[in-house]
Amino acid sequence: MHRERERGRDPIADHKARKHRQRAELIHRSNNTFAAAARAYVEEHAKPKQRRWRETARLLGMQPNGLEPIAGGLAERWGEKPVGDIDGHDIWCAVDEARRQGVPGLKARNKGTSEARARALHTVLSALFTWLQRQRRVTSNPCAGLHPPRSAEAARTHLEQ
């Protein structure tokens, strides 16, 4: 300790600064989890700007009435995961699961594959990560490199003869 002081350093101040950085990082991580980010997105962006904000909350795995996690939903599955750690593979797996079995945590309304379910989940996740990017909570949108699910086929027209 005396050597450090002789070199012009303050070991006590260094220790306090290190503890403060650790505390700040812990607070930042807890505020930057997927569950907290999804809740903030619904409260700050979707509710004031979207008519169908309840559907957005459900797709993200939250109950619209109190924004509590839905059992098996994305908010529960990725709840403690930092949003910066979610990558394109995680997004692709969730969208593919929505296409094949239904949105995580929600019961599928029809049997078989559904591009509409996959498209809806991809759209909501892309909007969430775009908002997080604008809020400087993530550096890049993991949905940006993924191709969105196929759009609905155009209705057939019958030609008159």
Give the tens place of pLDDT for each residue, 75-132.
899 988 988 889 999 999 999 999 999 888 888 888 888 888 899 999 999 999 999 9
Answer yes or no: pTM beyond 0.85. no
Residue 14, pLDDT score? 85
Mean pLDDT, range 12-21, rounded to an integer: 84
Residue 153's pLDDT band, with cuts at 50, 70 and 90, is low
Residue 58, pLDDT score? 92
Domains of the chain by start residue, with CATH: 1-31 (no CATH), 34-150 (1.10.150)
Residue 29, pLDDT score? 59
Asked whether the CA dihedral 124, 130, 132, 138 is positive or negative, the reply is positive
What is the Cβ-side half-sphere exposure of residue 97, based on CA atoms within 13 angstroms? 15
pLDDT in tens, 34-87: 998 999 999 999 989 888 999 999 999 998 887 788 899 998 999 889 888 899
Give the integer Cα–Cα distance in Å for 59 and 110.
16
Q: Amino acid identity, residue 156? A: R
Residue 152, pLDDT score? 61
Angle at the Cα of 52 from the Cα atoms of 136 and 91, rounded to 5 degrees:
50
* DSSP-based three-state secondary structure for 69: strand
